[in-house]
Structure 1
């Protein structure tokens, strides 16, 4: 699959805006607990697709899941230097703070949404 980098860049920015909005305190509590992680993983899927535009959808999905899970499992490591990075705004958004099994499910859902969008929406609309 050959992806349109311009479209993927727009999608990444849109997902970032939605993700930051999900942390704003608006809406039910479950939104703050799970939707941000789903959107983070969706953004990761789009970033991997942007960088590796010639790779097939499933390769992008496996790579995105691997990165997301690696980041989540890295939260089990609590050294001073990495915690200092985590306590910055960007570091906290990218690396997170503490390991949660539910985050792994959220990441899987977010990346699955990316796969569905790419396979169903982008294929039929000839955007990709």
Structure 2
């Protein structure tokens, strides 16, 4: 039997993931309505936040440092994988889901956006979910 606290946390992280996904998609669709700084950065920041909440959901018993480290490794790994430009992976990247998950081209600025998103998610986690 899964303890009640664990179930509640998993529900909370699931909701955080869903909200973050919808916010990220909205930030792309309606970027023209956002201030330029938000339009340029929100999608990547929110993507990294979703990765963080995903690790918290999957590794509920692990601590905050584990989630932060794995989120950074995963996000940075995806970004560095964009340096690899084989036809087969570019074909995947040219699909909607491939582009959303794998991105299209390496940008060093994305590493900073991912770090910021993970930091924001961790702070939100400490302030609300982890209590």
TM-score by length of 2: 0.89
Structure 2 residue aligned with 1:78: 85
Say how many residue pairs are matched.
124
Corresponding residue SS for 1:99: coil
Q: Provide the C-alpha distance between the structure 1 equivalents of 2:61 and 2:112, rounded to a whole number of angstroms.
A: 27
TM-score (norm: length of structure 1):
0.91
Q: Indicate if the aligned counterparts of 1:58 and 1:115 stay in contact, CA closer than 8 A.
A: no
Structure 1 position 118, deviation (Å): 1.5
Task: Please tell me whether residue 33 in structure 1 is matched to residue 48 in structure 2.
Answer: no
> Which of the numbers 11, 14, 18 marks the counterpart of 2:16?
11
> Which one of 81, 93, 112 corresponds to residue 100 of structure 2?
93
Query: What root-mean-square deviation, in Å, do the aligned CA atoms of Structure 1 and Structure 2 show?
Result: 1.5
In structure 1, C-alpha distance between the alignment counterparts of 2:111 and 2:124, rounded to whole Å: 20
Give the drift of 1:117. Answer: 1.2
Q: Output the CA distance in 2 between the equivalents of 1:76 and 1:117.
A: 32
Q: Does 1:46 align with 2:53?
A: yes
**1:30, distance to aligned residue in structure 2 (A):** 2.7
Show the 5 A alignment for 1:53-64. Answer: 53-64=60-71
